Structure 1
């Protein structure tokens, strides 16, 4: 008699993913070999994912959804798993981000993800690996997932994207001169797009800065709004108009205090030339 390993989905997000995969497979009366054949993976690979010994990938998750007819359930679980080292609510926010017609961002300390070059994103991911926060595999998937998110910038439905970055974002040198120079050039190119605005909130606005934390504000096709803000410990999604309106008003105030786009680009160009 074959010993079937008992799974504990509460042990970790990866274990929960594996338990769901086994459950979906068994509901269809398939053995691991049959699922493996349909998904074009080995049965040992299926077994390793089900028992939490192997990290699933985006490709694997999409294949599981197609084969098992589960919509995008495994892709969503993969996103939650990959981003598990990030903050709660972020995966839900990204779903809204992909549908937004207007995106407003404010970031402190690092370049916003949607504007990061692959090299800049890779440096940040590898730094997280060195700290023990994520595995090398999760770092690879995190960068790949970020690049997939960036496709939102080329959607015809995206009417505008407004970004305000704290001056610390462009002065915090990440990955050395070559990586940072390419990242700053990417910001200049972003600012030149017809449906984007890039502004730097300089240090000297002092107490006039209305936000102490990064903020993301989305306008959806039905004109409803979604806000996402995060601290060091947690992320928070908000869809209540009464609480989002003050955040939007604060964003407009931030834009008024920030440098104009022309002045912002000039500051970035000075940094690229090594001028203070």
Structure 2
């Protein structure tokens, strides 16, 4: 007889996740191999998830939701995954991420830092390690942040993919993060992003001055039903806004930002000049 490890959901969120996954599988009469086939994982991997020997990932959680037919529902494994990650993410951010992965259009603006969706692995590590050195997070949380970011980027590779518009303040490409090789790779990634069929990249140059409508991160989402959402951040907290009275003015300002920012061709030329070491 096969010994089945009994899990106590009270041991922690990862154990609770594993217990839920096992219960959902057994309720349908599936073996671990059968669930693995539906999720594109091995039966051994499913076993490791169910017994909390492996923590869940965003990809495995999305796959589980598809297998069980609960994508987008309150009981989804994706939602449970974000709850597990909440400890290493800014307050308010997990809720935004739930919506971001479901959006038809994503509009990004940031100042000083390249937005997470466009960051390379090395660039993200430099930022995470900086937070560790400032005693804001632990090394373990830094590793979680980077791993989570890579999973977040991968989750947006869907059919059809969302339209992604990015307007970056000039400081994003001029502020050095890491050594020259890190920045060169990051700048190359931005050029690669601009060449994708579902993306648009613009730089808001310093010369815009007071015409630049935003001073910090602003993300705008257009959902498939054409509803709008806005995500903004303070130094310590994120906020997801669904009220049209406040989101529509932000959308209007974003369009103004795009109008006054450099064109994509001009923006790419600016980035290429930086890569060559010219001002």
- TM-score tier (shorter): 0.7 to 0.9
**1:84 aligned to 2:87?**
yes
2:219 alignment partner, SS class: strand
1:221 matched to which residue of 2? 224
Q: Distance in 2 between matches of 1:223 and 1:161?
A: 15
Q: Distance in 2 between matches of 1:100 and 1:274?
A: 37
1:238 matched to which residue of 2? 241
Where does structure 1 lack aligned partners over 5 or more consecutive residues?
1-6, 10-14, 28-36, 50-54
Q: Distance in 2 between matches of 1:227 and 1:166?
A: 19
Q: Distance in 2 between matches of 1:196 and 1:247?
A: 20
2:199 aligned residue (192, 196, 199): 196
**1:117 aligned to 2:120?**
yes
CA apart distance, 1:153? 4.2
Worse overlay, 124-133 or 199-208: 124-133
2:264 aligned residue (258, 261, 266): 261
CA apart distance, 1:149? 1.2
Whether contact under 8 Å (1:102, 1:158) holds in the other structure is no
1:17 matched to which residue of 2? 13
CA distance 1:73–1:160, change in 2 (3 Å)? closer
2:103 alignment partner, SS class: coil
TM-score, structure 2 as length reference:
0.75
CA distance 1:104–1:24, change in 2 (3 Å)? closer
1:174 alignment partner, SS class: coil
**1:172 aligned to 2:175?**
yes
CA distance 1:187–1:38, change in 2 (3 Å)? closer
CA apart distance, 1:178? 0.6
Q: Distance in 2 between matches of 1:158 and 1:16?
A: 35
Q: Distance in 2 between matches of 1:160 and 1:167?
A: 22
CA distance 1:188–1:225, change in 2 (3 Å)? same
Whether contact under 8 Å (1:57, 1:78) holds in the other structure is yes
Whether contact under 8 Å (1:103, 1:160) holds in the other structure is yes
Where does structure 2 lack aligned partners over 5 or more consecutive residues?
1-8, 24-43
Aligned residue pairs total: 248
Whether contact under 8 Å (2:220, 2:251) holds in the other structure is yes
Q: Which digits, 9 at most, give the CA deviation of each residue in 1:212-236, with x for residues without a partner? A: 2210001111111111011112211
1:58 matched to which residue of 2? 57
**1:103 aligned to 2:106?**
yes
Q: Distance in 2 between matches of 1:39 and 1:154?
A: 23
CA RMSD of aligned residues (A): 3.6
CA distance 1:83–1:200, change in 2 (3 Å)? farther
TM-score, structure 1 as length reference:
0.76
2:97 matched to which residue of 1? 94
Q: Which digits, 9 at most, give the CA deviation of each residue in 1:158-192, with x for residues without a partner? A: 34211000111101111111111011001001111
Q: Distance in 2 between matches of 1:217 and 1:112?
A: 13
